[in-house]
């Protein structure tokens, strides 16, 4: 039974994240120290103590989530005495989690991942003035209907599907007025519920083009090695190992939809029957169960969960 490691995206952050890991494992403390040094910032203190209002800023949440994911991985490796390649066939990450996946697979250095995500967060925030963009979850609609709703809601403004997370859970992103129109239209098309999301920018849509250009420039300066196991990419929902292809996909990812539902189904088609979410929260494990009940989904972010996972592996 093949296994894939998956890595969470923004929204899984919470004050206190990583603290228990740091208290229990030296390998986790080393990761948090390295990220702090790379950023010239006490990000770990912000993660452990808050305030939450500062932690949830995109430029802090993104490297923070990555650092917890890699801390869990390093603990598993140090305590279990094994390398990633020996235990998993693929990696994948939701949005920023793609950087965590690449760091886990040895394609990106930890310090480079932290700096890229700090820049990514700032660039995304700069791309659209606060209040001009929005995102909304359309619950109970499949992707095809959600795409029709987004197209109809645009009326000359940007409105697009940003995340295809699971059956009946699609997120739209774009200009605030257009997203508000999409919420109304979704209700008319039979959505069970549609809710504005508490985000600071409209991610994964064409409004993020300035951020994509910033990331293209930054990624061009960073060493990217072939991952030790293939990455199933957000943009294509397909495995990729070529560093230059990955570099291009990371740029495209800023403005295009995260094809998470398709990515999980592709992993299953590749023989994966167990997904293990490494890091804060259990969002991806929950989505996996909604996408395909035949896939075993586990999550590890706390010391007890890490110890249980060590036994399972």
Q: Give exposure, 173-182, as e/b (b: 16+ Cβ within 10 Å).
A: bbbbebbbbb
- Of the residues 67, 95, 173, 194, only one is catalytic, namely 95
DSSP state of 258: B
Q: Respond yes or no: is residue 204 known to be catalytic.
A: yes
pLDDT at 251: 98
pLDDT per position in the chain (313 positions), as tens? Answer: 799 999 999 989 999 999 999 999 999 999 999 999 999 999 999 999 999 999 999 999 999 999 999 999 999 999 998 888 788 999 999 999 999 999 999 999 999 999 999 999 999 999 999 889 999 999 999 999 999 999 999 999 999 999 999 999 999 999 999 999 999 999 999 999 999 998 889 999 999 999 999 999 999 999 999 999 999 999 999 999 999 999 999 999 999 999 999 999 999 999 999 999 999 999 999 999 999 999 999 999 999 999 999 988 8
pTM of the predicted model as reported, rounded to 2 decimal places: 0.97
pLDDT at 130: 85
Q: Respond yes or no: is residue 263 known to be catalytic.
A: no
pLDDT at 93: 98
Rounded to the nearest 10 degrees, how much is the dihedral formed by the CA atoms of 142, 148, 153, 159?
70
Q: How far apart are the first and last CA of the chain?
A: 11
pLDDT at 82: 83
DSSP state of 293: T
- Rounded Cα distance, 216 and 224, in Å: 13
pLDDT at 230: 98
Q: Which residues lie across from 300 on neighbouring strands?
A: 278
pLDDT at 102: 98
Q: Tell me the CA distances in angstroms from 209 to 94, 212, 255, one per residue in order.
A: 19, 5, 6
pLDDT at 219: 98
Rounded to the nearest 10 degrees, how much is the dihedral formed by the CA atoms of 239, 244, 246, 252?
-120
CB 196 within 8 Å of CB 179 = yes
- Of the residues 69, 100, 200, 204, only one is catalytic, namely 204
- Rounded Cα distance, 165 and 262, in Å: 9
């Amino acid at each position: 039974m093949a296994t894939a490691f998956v890595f969470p995206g923004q929204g899984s952050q919470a004050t206190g994240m990583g603290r228990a890991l740091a208290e229990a494992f030296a390998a986790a403390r080393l990761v948090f120290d390295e990220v702090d040094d790379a950023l010239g910032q006490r990000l770990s203190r912000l993660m452990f103590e808050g305030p939450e209002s500062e932690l949830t800023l995109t430029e802090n949440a993104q490297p923070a989530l990555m650092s917890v994911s890699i801390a869990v991985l390093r603990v598993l490796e140090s305590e279990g005495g094994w390398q990633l390649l020996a235990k998993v066939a693929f990696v994948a990450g939701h949005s920023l989690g793609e950087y965590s996946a690449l760091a886990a697979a040895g394609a990106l250095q930890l310090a480079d991942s932290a700096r890229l995500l700090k820049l990514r967060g700032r660039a995304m925030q700069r791309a659209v003035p606060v209040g001009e963009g929005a995102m909304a979850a359309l619950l109970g609609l499949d992707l095809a209907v959600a795409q029709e709703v987004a197209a109809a809601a645009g009326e000359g403004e940007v409105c697009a599907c940003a995340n295809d997370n699971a059956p009946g859970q699609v997120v739209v992103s774009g200009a605030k007025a257009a997203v508000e129109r999409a919420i109304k239209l979704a209700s008319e098309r039979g959505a069970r519920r549609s809710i504005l999301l508490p985000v600071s920018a409209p991610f994964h849509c064409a409004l993020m083009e300035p951020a994509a250009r910033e990331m293209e420039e930054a990624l061009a300066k960073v060493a990217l090695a072939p991952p030790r196991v293939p990455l199933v990419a957000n943009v294509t929902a397909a495995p990729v190992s070529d560093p230059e292809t990955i570099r291009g996909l990371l740029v495209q990812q800023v403005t295009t939809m995260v094809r998470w539902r398709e990515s999980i189904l592709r992993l299953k088609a590749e023989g994966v029957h167990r997904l293990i979410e490494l890091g804060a929260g259990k969002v991806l494990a929950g989505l996996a169960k909604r996408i395909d009940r035949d896939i075993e989904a586990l999550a590890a972010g706390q010391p007890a969960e890490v110890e249980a996972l060590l036994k399972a592996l």
